[in-house]
Amino acid sequence: MTGREGEALTKVLGARSAGPLAKLGLVTVGDLLRHYPRRYGDPGTLTDMDRLALGEHVTVMARVARATVRTMRSRAGAMLSAVVTDGRHELALTFFAKRAGALRPHEDKLRPGRVGLFTGVVSEYRGTRQLTHPDYVLVGVDADDAEEAMFEASRPIPIYPASSSVPSWRIQRAVRTVLDPLTEADVEDPVPDEVRARHGLPSRLDALRAIHHPVDQASWQRARHRFRFEEAFVLQAALAQRRAHAAEQEATARPSRGPGEPSLLADFDAALPFTLTDGQRAVGEDLAHELAQARPMQRLLQGEVGSGKTVVALRAMLQVVDAGGQAALLAPTEVLAAQHARTLRALLGSLAEGGLLGGAAHGTRVALLTGSLGAAARKEALLQAASGEAGIVVGTHALLGDQVQFADLGLVVVDEQHRFGVEQRDALRAKGRVAPHVLVMTATPIPRTVAMTVFGDLETSSLTQVPAGRAGITSHVVPAGNPRWMERTWSRVREEVDKGHRAYVVCPRIHPDEDLPAGGGAAAKDFDDVPDLLELMDGDGAADERPALRAVLEVADMLRETPALDGLDVGVLHGQMAPADKESAMARFAAGELQVLVSTTVIEVGVDVPEATVMVVFDADRFGLSQLHQLRGRVGRGSAPGLCLLVSTAQPGTPAATRVEALAETTDGFRLATLDLELRSEGDVLGAAQSGRSSSLRLLRVVQDADLIADARREATAVVDADLELGEHPELRAAIAAQLDDEQEEFLERA
Ligand code: ADP
Ligand code: MG
């Protein structure tokens, strides 16, 4: 290793300068060089000194009249005051530092008589115009002549992510101190030369210079493009390595039973109350084949809401159990985990009573393991998992815990985990003695590029059909302010209930008097009710000018007093309830004892009550489109048509109103996901797609940079295919290792 990016800033800059930077997490030269400017200030044109407007960003050409350093009495520290003049007007320059010594470089340069360009924001102190910590270029010092000084001063001014204790200008100075003496040999480039040449990218050192000290806009743009490519390339190389390593890993082959042999899967298929769709059958065959290999399956199953992914997963799990292994099913919420356990037990009937009197001889058990299980129940579930008595273990991410042991874990199914990153999947893969097969399922159509980044280590299958005989969903926007519409809403709910159906009412908050959105509190477990609120992104008026968000408890009380719903039983469900209460609310709703369930977004994913036909969503304009689509997927799952009423406070013509209207118009999940992305920033996309944004992605934009990501993926895969351990590419190997360290750190911090 020849690069200098690993060197400590304390060594290069000295402890005093390095200290504040460490507070921003910048410890090594590489950290500082990767701390890219957030944006660039316009250097502005030369300003006449008699026209200096307060608050304006100006550049003036002037001569130094005098400069003095003094220590301040009022507060600790030293100050350098200089005065520059154009011959007629004067302008003060002020620099502060903790100690007089730190001002010496300025003092040395700002000698009386010297001419230079000074750039900064005009302020006023005791009636005098001044620039605080101006940037400047002195003729004969920083530049040979006035023309060159003008050129220096015309460069875009980098503006860094900073803090009050470490202002941008200080970062800029530190970067220049570190960057200026570097040569090509000091900088390691993870992107191989051929790849760089093919894509016309500047060298890493050139790009560092251009991004931190650009000549013009085009130069920082080119540099930024290069670093985006680099990020994508390193990420894709890491993913390619993961794929390749996983393919080399051994897994236990779990072939399906032959005809005539006792088989849970065959019994299950025979008892299934419906026929599988063509898609379910085709994907099922792929999975059956892959499970029979001695290499771990790594598959992502995308399927529209209601396309029947659970059955597909269950059939794969049964094949593994038939072959003597165990399967784990991981759900994002306790509600969904509990429902899955209930569904599996119901679907399996006596097949899920293995070892019990009356259970099938080749039957198995379904254990439920969630974070807030009572001690005794938890012990029992742990025991069943460890002994192998439970062929199927269902749980939340508590299943990732170290205490959870399996006798012979053969398959891990991760359901609805768009918030489940690469690291968590790695943790799971590490659970078995040999690598388990992995199936990840999601109903959110994942844009190609997110699939390539967040799920880039997986192969993809899709379920595009929903089972025949579904009557579909109709959606309408209901203006919240219109009492007649609201009345009509509740009478529609009543009509549905009178037909024997049930209704969901969804609100973004739990308590009316808590300011937190649901899930913001300490009680937010397992992502239970995390509404995907968009108020900061809409740009259609300050959030606090809008009516307060509706809350579950308040709305439930209101509905109990609503004449149209007289005599109905209204229940509530939210993440702050005890697990047993949650489960009982879901069970009573499923059984029809409660006809109306007021809940948070805890029911967003996977909840399956076929009798539910109507859903009212309060503050629909404040949710993300994909989330609304998921929510809406809870109704119209049986043979009766579904109705979704989107109560909105959005003013007509605003982006929020547009979003809700789009949802009312289409049920195509893919179109909605694309639209959603267009309305959001990339940080949110990754944030939603992954639990925590990878710290290695600084500049890459997952949505806009689709082509670049595809290019980087192709190049990175080729490099890794030719040289799996990257023996020929030590720089790339180091970059991947650094990225893994970052991710590991984040993962540990979150855990
Ligand atoms: P999702 O893909 O959204 O997870 P589920 O697996 O929850 O969907 O399935 C939705 C509903 O459709 C469930 O009630 C399930 O039993 C039912 N279902 C699944 N496959 C079929 C099929 N082939 N025919 C009819 N109903 C089906
Ligand atoms: Mg599901």
* CA-nearest residue, atom 15 of ligand 1: 308
Asked whether the predicted pLDDT for residue 685 surpasses 60, the reply is no
At 428, the pLDDT band (50, 70, 90 cuts) reads low
**Per-residue pLDDT at 102:** 83
Residues whose CB is less than 8 angstroms from the CB of residue 697 and which lie 6 or more positions away in sequence, other chains included: 231, 235, 453, 686
Closest-CA residue to 550 (of 619, 615, 625): 619
Range in 52-61, 480-489, 684-693 with the lowest mean pLDDT: 684-693
* Nearest-5° Cα angle at 20, 16 to 24: 150
The residue behind tokens 């959005």 is 650
Closest-CA residue to 346 (of 587, 102, 67): 587
Q: What is the dihedral angle through the alpha carbons of 644, 688, 231, 672, rounded to the nearest 10 degrees? A: 0
Distance from Cα 310 to the centre of ligand 1, integer Å: 7
- Ion ligand 2, residues whose Cβ is below 5 A away: 606
Calculate mean pLDDT across residues 483-506: 94
Closest approach atom of ligand 1 to CA 303: 2
* CA-nearest residue, atom 20 of ligand 1: 308
Of the two residues 441 and 148, the one the predictor is more confident about is: 441
Distance of CA 651 to the CA centre of its chain: 29
**Per-residue pLDDT at 526:** 32
Calculate mean pLDDT across residues 137-141: 80
Calculate mean pLDDT across residues 346-357: 77
Asked if 59 and 153 touch (Cβ cutoff 8 Å), the reply is yes
Cα distances (angstroms) measured from residue 175 to each of 6, 15, 160, 169, 181: 15, 15, 10, 10, 11
Distance from Cα 631 to the centre of ligand 2, integer Å: 12
Q: How far apart are CA 99 and CA 517, in angstroms?
A: 47
Asked if 494 and 277 touch (Cβ cutoff 8 Å), the reply is no
Calculate mean pLDDT across residues 404-414: 91
Residues whose CB is less than 8 angstroms from the CB of residue 50 and which lie 6 or more positions away in sequence, other chains included: 88, 89
Asked if 392 and 399 touch (Cβ cutoff 8 Å), the reply is no
Count CA atoms closer than 13 A to 650's CA, side-chain side: 26
pLDDT digits (tens, 9 = 90+) for 301-322: 988 777 889 899 999 999 999 9
What is the bridge-based pairing of β-strands 90-97 and 57-71? unpaired
* CA-nearest residue, atom 10 of ligand 1: 306
Asked whether the predicted pLDDT for residue 688 surpasses 50, the reply is no
Q: Which ligand is nearest to the CA of 313?
A: 1
For a mutational test of ligand 1's pocket, the pick from 280, 310, 314, i.e. the residue with the most ligand atoms closer than 8 A to its C-beta, is: 310
Asked whether the predicted pLDDT for residue 293 surpasses 70, the reply is yes
**Per-residue pLDDT at 487:** 92
DSSP, collapsed to helix, strand or coil, labels residue 551 as: strand
Closest approach atom of ligand 1 to CA 633: 3
Residues whose CB is less than 8 angstroms from the CB of residue 691 and which lie 6 or more positions away in sequence, other chains included: 419, 420, 421, 424, 750
Q: Give percent of the chain with pLDDT exceeding 70.
A: 83
Distance from Cα 415 to the centre of ligand 2, integer Å: 7
Q: How far apart are CA 455 and CA 449, in angstroms?
A: 9
Winning range, highest mean pLDDT, from 41-55, 297-311, 381-395: 381-395
Calculate mean pLDDT across residues 140-147: 77
For a mutational test of ligand 1's pocket, the pick from 465, 608, 613, 626, i.e. the residue with the most ligand atoms closer than 8 A to its C-beta, is: 608
The residue behind tokens 């960003």 is 57
Binding pocket residue ranges, ligand 1, CB within 6 Å: 274, 276-277, 280, 303, 305-311, 443, 467, 606, 608, 610, 637
Closest approach atom of ligand 1 to CA 638: 14
Of the two residues 470 and 449, the one the predictor is more confident about is: 470
Asked whether the predicted pLDDT for residue 258 surpasses 60, the reply is yes
Asked whether the predicted pLDDT for residue 354 surpasses 60, the reply is yes
Q: How far apart are CA 87 and CA 65, in angstroms?
A: 10
Asked whether the predicted pLDDT for residue 600 surpasses 50, the reply is yes
Give 550's DSSP letter.
P
DSSP, collapsed to helix, strand or coil, labels residue 10 as: helix
Find the DSSP H helices in 199-250.
204-212, 217-248
What contacts 24+ positions apart, CB below 8 Å, involve 140-147? 140/114, 140/115, 141/109, 141/114, 141/116, 142/109, 142/116, 146/61, 146/115
**Per-residue pLDDT at 429:** 66
* CA-nearest residue, atom 9 of ligand 1: 308
Asked whether the predicted pLDDT for residue 695 surpasses 50, the reply is no
Distance from Cα 330 to the centre of ligand 2, integer Å: 11
Give kind and range of the element (H or E) at residue 179.
helix 168-179
Asked whether the predicted pLDDT for residue 706 surpasses 80, the reply is no
Return phi, psi of residue 78, to 5°. -125, 160
Distance of CA 645 to the CA centre of its chain: 29
Winning range, highest mean pLDDT, from 323-332, 341-350, 426-435: 323-332
Distance from Cα 667 to the centre of ligand 1, integer Å: 17
Q: How far apart are CA 543 and CA 533, in angstroms?
A: 11
The residue behind tokens 């205490």 is 403
Q: For the residues of 686-709, what is the DSSP string, one character each? A: HHHHSSS--TT-SS--TTTTHHHH
What is the bridge-based pairing of β-strands 128-132 and 115-125? antiparallel
At 239, the pLDDT band (50, 70, 90 cuts) reads confident
Q: How far apart are CA 746 and CA 339, in angstroms?
A: 31
Asked if 326 and 406 touch (Cβ cutoff 8 Å), the reply is yes
Strands, E, within 500-586: which ranges?
A: 502-506, 570-573
Return phi, psi of residue 344, to 5°. -60, -45
Residues whose CB is less than 8 angstroms from the CB of residue 215 and which lie 6 or more positions away in sequence, other chains included: 155
Calculate mean pLDDT across residues 278-286: 95
Closest approach atom of ligand 1 to CA 275: 23
Find the DSSP H helices in 463-610.
483-498, 535-538, 552-560, 579-591
Return phi, psi of residue 735, to 5°. -65, -40
Closest approach atom of ligand 1 to CA 463: 2
Q: How far apart are CA 146 and CA 132, in angstroms?
A: 23
Closest-CA residue to 24 (of 171, 158, 172): 171
pLDDT digits (tens, 9 = 90+) for 495-536: 999 999 999 999 988 988 765 444 433 333 333 444 444 433
At 62, the pLDDT band (50, 70, 90 cuts) reads confident
Give 349's DSSP letter.
G
For a mutational test of ligand 1's pocket, the pick from 272, 274, 345, 461, i.e. the residue with the most ligand atoms closer than 8 A to its C-beta, is: 274
Range in 49-58, 213-222, 716-725 with the lowest mean pLDDT: 49-58
Q: For the residues of 458-492, what is the DSSP string, one character each? A: SEEEEE-PPPTT---EEEEEEETT-HHHHHHHHHH
Distance from Cα 608 to the centre of ligand 1, integer Å: 9
Q: For the residues of 393-445, what is the DSSP string, one character each? A: EEESGGGGSTT---SSEEEEEEES-TT--HHHHHHHHTTSSSPPEEEEEESSP
Asked whether the predicted pLDDT for residue 255 surpasses 60, the reply is yes
Q: How far apart are CA 249 and CA 286, in angstroms?
A: 20
End-to-end CA distance of the chain: 33
**Per-residue pLDDT at 615:** 95
Q: How far apart are CA 52 and CA 92, in angstroms?
A: 12
Asked if 329 and 413 touch (Cβ cutoff 8 Å), the reply is yes
**Mean pLDDT of the chain, nearest integer:** 82
Measured N-to-C along each axis, helices 204-212 and 168-179 cross at an angle, to the nearest 10 degrees, of 150
Return phi, psi of residue 561, to 5°. -100, 0
Closest approach atom of ligand 1 to CA 347: 16
Residue 399 has a CB neighbour count (10 Å cut-off) of: 24
pTM for the predicted model, two decimal places: 0.63
Asked whether the predicted pLDDT for residue 475 surpasses 90, the reply is yes
Closest approach atom of ligand 1 to CA 637: 11
At 739, the pLDDT band (50, 70, 90 cuts) reads confident
Dmax (CA) for the chain in angstroms is 104
Q: How far apart are CA 599 and CA 643, in angstroms?
A: 17
Asked if 624 and 532 touch (Cβ cutoff 8 Å), the reply is yes
**Per-residue pLDDT at 333:** 78
Beta bridge partners of 82: 67, 93
**Per-residue pLDDT at 529:** 46
Winning range, highest mean pLDDT, from 519-533, 585-599, 642-656: 585-599
The residue behind tokens 């199914």 is 413
